Every structure is written in structure tokens, then in C-alpha cells.
Chains A and B, each alone.
Chain A
């Protein structure tokens, strides 16, 4: 589900951008800060960033679209990232992920119809000796099995 948020005021966006301009290479920190504040990189921020950094909007779009992390629209209320990498595959990660996608009725990067859960693949959380692993809103979960993952999804409101 795509919820189009109300655009934040320019003054707020500008203040957030300005707070990072003293850094060397401030663009990624700015994008992270925007996403932290608004759950995505608001469209309204783009011309302001381009102006502040003296880069073209095309260049900026190139950067935002290059990185998996940056969202153009907000995610669901909870983000569940399931590791798809080899170490988790070795302990049944693939069938676990397939079952989760089946239950939610969405594909990777999809959000459930009620807006509760966005499910995303992640390639390694560094929990390779206690897989299969996932991350729910920044909290890591290891030694997952079908029942545990099911409980996590239920808890998230899926």
C-alpha cells in the first residue's frame, strides 16, 4: 500500500539539510536523516538538497535510486527484513522466507494491504552462526523457525 504523506514544510527540510552541510560528503548523512525523520526521502526535499549541494536533480536521483535503503514512499508500520544470504540458506532460510511471503500475500519489497508490514530481503545481518536471521524494525532476531517468524508477523499486525 502506498500512503502519500503530506509534504513537510520547506523550513523543516532546510533546517535538517543545513545541519549536515559542515560535513565532508554530506549527501548520505542528509538522506539518512531525512529518512529517519519522515520514513522516506520526501520529494519536496529534492530541490532543496540539489540547491544546497550544488548538484543537479538528476545526479541526486541517481544517488537516491542507487542505494537499497532509501525510500521514495514510506514503508509499512513495521519493516521485516529477512536474510536471503548463503549462511541463512544453509539452515533453511529460503523456505522460511517463502512461507512468510506466502502468508503476507506479497512479494519482496511488498507491503501488506493493511499497511502493517513491509517485507524486504537483506543480504546478511552478520548473524551467520545463528541463522536463519531477520530484523524487525532494527531489532535482530536469530535462530528463526516457522513458528517464531509467524509470531513476529502476527505481533507486527500482519
Chain B
């Protein structure tokens, strides 16, 4: 009998380690033949620790499982959720990027291969760089880190650049609140990121790669480091990638707690050992990136999606989606929500369906007030915008951005003035200091919101003006997008900004 207890840090944070130990101890005491697999999470975080048992007829899910439940679990008397694959949450998804996450043992390369792993890389190994880049372009994949820039075009620029050394840099500095897809895939299916980076390397002619992984993710750092060693030992990385005769190797580098290092040029400076200040563009990192060399900088999910594109073909991937948003969105449903977790589905699903239908509304049972989409730099979407389809252009037209596709749900107890103030405060704490609109603007923003709270009638207009300046004048998205949460809060929830003022009058 195989028992799966996730080793994902979300599961561990709610007691999965203790459950795994209890199962091992109890099974040994009973003399049962049990193999415990620490898989990734299936993404149903509200059910974690979600334990699965395979008695030879497929996997049955139980959750959340507490240590006290272990005895009944092994007796076969614990009431379960049924076969994992038949759960509504699983059945409604299109899992392409996350197909293996939660299914396999994350550090078993044999498991990985048995579930389609490495077939994309083997196919790419037989293709020229131009063909590889064309395949990615044809898939319609766009940067999943937030900007939505077409991945194929970025790769083409690097491929066309002449240099003695090129780099693949994976941006795993997933600092946005409400996002955990990068962490989940690195902990649950690390080889897919390695494979994606190797394909990128073969495609653009880069022989070295770095994953810049935030220090707040110690579990992911451990898993990725182990996976890189295993991949190197197996010849997936090294001088002769899967027997292709071409070289690619990579290293995991740990960030140091600076949010702004999620911005690609600041990340490159950090990797070089400098202050993580933003660089002006141009030059594009694709031409002058890490150490001044042509560099592909892609988000974890973008790179982790590359293997399935090569395994199943670009058209298969492009057949999903809406408009110019092709493929799947890896939605992360978080905050005050009844069913939070990772839900991968084709672009096009509406915001309301995600929050109310899939997420089940708030955890508190109170009405939804706002949903912040796209992290701390994303807009607060009011319920009146719930028909907005998940798509890059569609969110843009509705005054928001999908960013890394994280959704944070707030109930009606949220004070939107406080949330707007927090956005400015966060920007002030995390600003790299290079450009004035961000460095000074964020501090003035906090002060101006405080003036609104104290009833200053003219302060709202000043805040609006300040946001315009930050938006137009900032060097990167930190200062440039902080106005999204601030202005969306001010525009859609004027009552939260008016009460203090009226009280003062």
C-alpha cells in the first residue's frame, strides 16, 4: 500500500510532517507494508494535509487529516473524499503545467519520466535553435510572471545575439502576496523547471542557467538543489544534455529578502552581487543581461510550461485559451476564501466564477468585498467587475492586471483605505531607491492617504495626481503599478475614503 503525504510547505505548515510520522509509526506497529511518498500538493490547500491512499485501485483522498485520524485512516474507517481524480476541483481543471504536481515523488526522475517528463527535452534535442524558438512562439506562451510578454520573441532576440556566453535566468523571486504557483511547482515537480530551462538553453544557445529563488522559500531551495544534483548525475544537465552533444548546466541562487529583485533587471544586479537596483531599459536583458551577456529572463511558470509544449506540441497548448492569451492560467486562489489553492484552467474563465464557484466565496461566510488580482501591484476588483474574463487584455481593459494570476479575496470587513495605505507603505519599504517617483512618491502616498483619513478634503485629488506621476515616471512596475491597488481602492470603494472625512465635517 502506498500512502501519499504532501511534503509541500503549505501542507507542512498545517501539520503534514506530523501526520507522515504518525502513519509510519502506526503502520510499523501494526506490521503493515506501507510505502510513504512525500509528494507535492494537488493544490487543494483547504484540504491539506491531504493524504492519499493507493491500495492498488487508484488513489483515494482524505483531508484535512490530523494525527488523531491516522488510526482510522489505516483501519480503513476514516471517511474520505473519494478518488482524487474524481474530485470536482480536479476534474474541472486543465492541468498542463501542473500535470505531475502532487502526483509524483518530486525527486524521483523515474517517476518524472514515467509521467511524460524529459520527452519534451529529447524532442528539443533533435531540433535546431531556430526550430525550438519557433515552437515556443507558435504555442503563444506569454510571460507568466506578470508582464505577459511573448516568450518566443524574447528567446528569438537572445538566439540572434552573438556572444561568447549566454544565460538562462529563472525568476523564482515570487514575492507577490497571493501567489504560490512557483513555490508549488518547484517543491512538487522540480524537474519540469530544470527541463524547461534546458530546452531554453538549447534553443537560444545558452550553456548556463541560474534560478534566483527567494530566501523566504527554504523548502523550495532544498528541493531544487537536490533536483539539480540528480539531473546532473543523470546527464539531463551537463556537457552532453540527454545525449544531444550540447551543454547546459544550472545553479540555484538564493535571494536576500528584497521584493524588488522580482523585477528582472534588479534580479540580474542581485545575481551579479550588487544592490538590487533596477536598470534602465534599453538595453534589454535579452541583449545585455547577466554580466552584460544576452540573457533569457523568464518566470518559473513560463519555463515550467515549456516541457509540455514540446511534449504535446505547440498547437496542443495554443488550442486552449482566449484571444491573445493562449494556454492555461495557473490561478492561485487565496486570502479569505472557502476553497483556496491552485487551479489551472484555460484563459477565459470569469473572475466571478473563480471566486464564487471554484473558490466557494469567502471563508468567513461574509459577502465578498474585493479581490486583489495580480499581487500587491494589482488592482482591487469590486464585485461589479466579476464578469471580467481571465485574460491579459481583458483585465487591462477593466483597469486591472492578471499579473502572476494570484487572487486574494477580501470580505466586507476589509477597510480599503487601509489596504491602499498598505500598498504605498509596502512600496516605500521595498523601493530600490533609484527613481524619484517611487522612492519619494510612496512615502508621500502614505502621508496623503493619512490626510484623507483625517478628513482633508483636497487630499484625494492630490493622491490621484501623485499616482499619475508614479505611473508615468517610475522606472519599473513597483512604483509604476502601486497606483493600481491605490486608485482601484479609491475609485471603487469611495465610502471607505469618505467616512472619516464626513465624520470630521
Contacts and interface: CB of A to CB of B under 8 A. Distances in A.
Size bracket, chain A contacts:
35 or more
Given A85-B177, A127-B9, A28 B409 contact: no
B196 interface: no
A69 B257 contact: yes
Interface residues of B, number: 63
Contacts of A31: 256
Interface stretch (A97-105, A128-136, A150-158): A128-136
A18 to B, nearest CB: 16
B376 interface: yes
Nearest to A88: B177
Given A66-B258, A126-B10, A53 B273 contact: yes
Interface string A5-35: 0000000000000000001111111011000
A86 B177 contact: yes
B216 to A, nearest CB: 6
A90 B273 contact: no
B94 to A, nearest CB: 20
A18 B217 CA distance: 26
Contacts of A87: 177-178, 334-335, 406, 408
Contacts of B272: 25
B386 interface: no
A28 B176 CA distance: 22
A155 to B, nearest CB: 15
Contacts of B332: 128-129
B92 interface: no
Contacts of B251: 23
B140 to A, nearest CB: 27
Interface string B318-360: 0000000000000011111100110000000000000000000
A110 B394 CA distance: 45
A23 B252 CA distance: 12
Given A32-B254, A86-B177, A126-B174, A63 B273 contact: yes
Given A28-B270, A131-B335, A140-B12, 8 more contacts: A23-B251, A27-B274, A85-B177, A87-B178, A87-B408, A123-B430, A130-B13, A130-B14
18 contacts: A26-B273, A27-B273, A63-B274, A66-B432, A67-B257, A86-B422, A87-B408, A91-B336, A124-B177, A125-B216, A126-B10, A126-B182, A126-B183, A129-B334, A131-B334, A135-B216, A140-B219, A143-B14
